Structure formats: C-alpha cells, structure tokens
Amino acid sequence: MCHAVLSSSSFWLLLQQVDEDLAAQTRAAGCRFCAGVLHRADYPRKPRGVRRQLLGEGYARRVSLCCAQDGCRRRHTPPSVRFLGRRVFLAAVVVLATALAQGLTGQRVAALREELGVSVRTLRRWQRWWREAFVATALWKSLRGQCLPVIAATSLPAGLLERCRGADAAGHLIGLLRWLAPLSCSSWTRAGC
C-alpha cells in the first residue's frame, strides 16, 4: 500500500490542489487580526521521503499569506495536507511510515529505510509524538469523540487511518491528512496544542 500511494504523482498533485484550496479559503477570510487583505508570501521547503520527480515544482514552496495592512503585516499560514508543521518529511510519509512501523521488525525497518529514507530513530520519535504529543492536542480531543470505539494511543495513526472513508488507500490517507491539516498551522501550535 505504502509504495503504491507514495509513488503516484497524481496523488501528490491532488494534495497540492487541496492545499491551494485551503489557502484560497484562508485568503478570502482576510487577516484575523485587522481584517486586511492577505497577499501570497510562500516560503521554501525541501520535503523528504519521496522522489522529487513525483512531487513537481509546487512542493518546493509552502503556501503562506501575509497581511498587506501597514502596521499589521502578520503572517497567516493556512492548513496543509502536504506538510505536518515544521517536519521535513511530508505528512503522508509521516503517517504511513508510523502506521507501518507499528510492530517494528527488522525487515520493516529495512524496507522503510530503503523506500522512504526514514531511520529507526526517526520512526521511534514519530511514534512517541503520536502517543504523547498528538494525544495532548485539542485536535485529537475533538476527533476522539468522533471515533467510537475509542482508538488507543498505541494504535495511532493506523487506528485513525482505518476510520477514514475513501474509495481506496489514497482516499483513506487523504481523509486523515484533512483531519490533521489544522496541526500544520501556527495558530494551533501557538495555542499550545
């Protein structure tokens, strides 16, 4: 499943389009501080975990907006399904690699390292993030109420991935990335979530 989804350039193009739509919604809402107009002010990214040829030019930039009003000029980073906060690995890679790493075996580690360039140390750090930091977020607290029976922290993110609706593996993954998109915004991290 992992290789088929992550090696599809159409999957990555679809995620880029979702991000553009989320950015358009944020831009249309205007500045949340002064109601000023938001202008595009993207910044560079060097995503890891997937061959650059599959991603296209759009993945070299993270969509960001900046208030045009003098005296405000605050940055507004819209939600993203491509990037998970400041992580250098793409969000889909973080989700799938961590889900596949549950029940970590030597063979799985070798496959993940070869296919995605993810070390054991990084996988363990991501597993800790799901079990400790993610379950402490306001986002998880709101999602948890929608997931009955309750998903154990030790089965994240695979348990969430199973709950997402989609016609295929890519659809399940996109559903989960949409759920996680608020975590890519600075407003969620500033609020201590």
Taking only the tens place, the pLDDT of each residue in 25-48 is: 999 999 999 999 999 999 999 999
Q: What percent of the chain has pLDDT over 70?
A: 93
Cα–Cα separations (whole angstroms), residue 161 to 102, 110, 147? 13, 23, 11
162-172: b or e for each residue (b if 16 or more CB lie within 10 Å)?
ebeeeeeebeb
**Alpha-carbon gap, residue 79 to 180, rounded angstroms:** 9
pLDDT computed for residue 107 by the predictor? 83
Identify the band that residue 193 occupies on the pLDDT scale cut at 50, 70 and 90.
Answer: very low
> In this predicted structure, what is the pLDDT of residue 150?
86
pTM: 0.90
pLDDT for the residue 148: 81
pLDDT at 95 over 60: yes
For residues 149 and 177, the model is more confident at 177
Q: Averaging pLDDT over each range in 38-47, 144-153, 157-166, which range is the top one?
A: 38-47
Q: What percent of the chain has pLDDT over 90?
A: 64
Tokens of 180: 């996680």
What's the number of CA atoms in the CB half-sphere (13 Å) around residue 65? 26
What average pLDDT does the structure give for the chain?
A: 89
pLDDT grade for 192, boundaries at 50, 70 and 90: very low
pLDDT band at 190 (very low <50, low <70, confident <90, very high): very low
Look at residue 20 and tell me whether its pLDDT is greater than 90.
Answer: yes
- 2: confidence class by pLDDT, cuts 50, 70, 90: low
> Which whole number is the average pLDDT over 164-176?
89
Task: Look at residue 187 and tell me whether its pLDDT is greater than 60.
Answer: no
Tokens 């995620």 correspond to 15
Output the six-digit token pair for 176. Answer: 């989960």
Q: What is the token pair recorded at 82?
A: 């491509």
